[in-house]
Amino acid sequence: MGYTGTRERIYQAWTPVEVIGGMEDELHTNGWVPLTRERRTDGSLRVIYERLSDGAAEERLGLRSVPRGRPMRTNVAMAVAGVAIVCATIVMGWSALVIMTTPA
């Protein structure tokens, strides 16, 4: 992919996530994509954007078909399911141990 420039944005610590997401979406439709992000010591968020060339921007925009919030919800759901399975396994193991060691 060809890059044609960079842009830096500093978001203050109290900037709502929805505002940052909306600004990123607007930049993304103009060919700017986030390259790096870093949390600064004052709590602000520094994001460096790079501008894609016209051909690369069209190709990159075509790849984004899943809404921004969806993958995170899937990851959280999978983590919760994993924790529930581990807890159920531990409870069943302890229950079996209690049954086996309890005199009749």
Summarize pLDDT for 35-85 with one digit per residue, the tens. 888 888 888 888 888 887 766 545 555 554 445 555 566 778 888 999 999
- Give the pLDDT of residue 88: 95
Please tell me the distance from the alpha carbon of residue 25 to that of residue 23, in angstroms, as a whole number.
5
CB atoms within 10 A of CB 14: 7
Residues 3 and 43 in one domain: yes
Residues 75 and 54 in one domain: no
CATH number of 56's domain:
3.30.70
**Domain ranges, residue 35:** 1-65
Domain count, the chain: 2
Residues 61 and 77 in one domain: no
H-helix or E-strand spanning residue 50: strand 45-52
Residue 1 confidence class, pLDDT cut points 50, 70, 90: very low
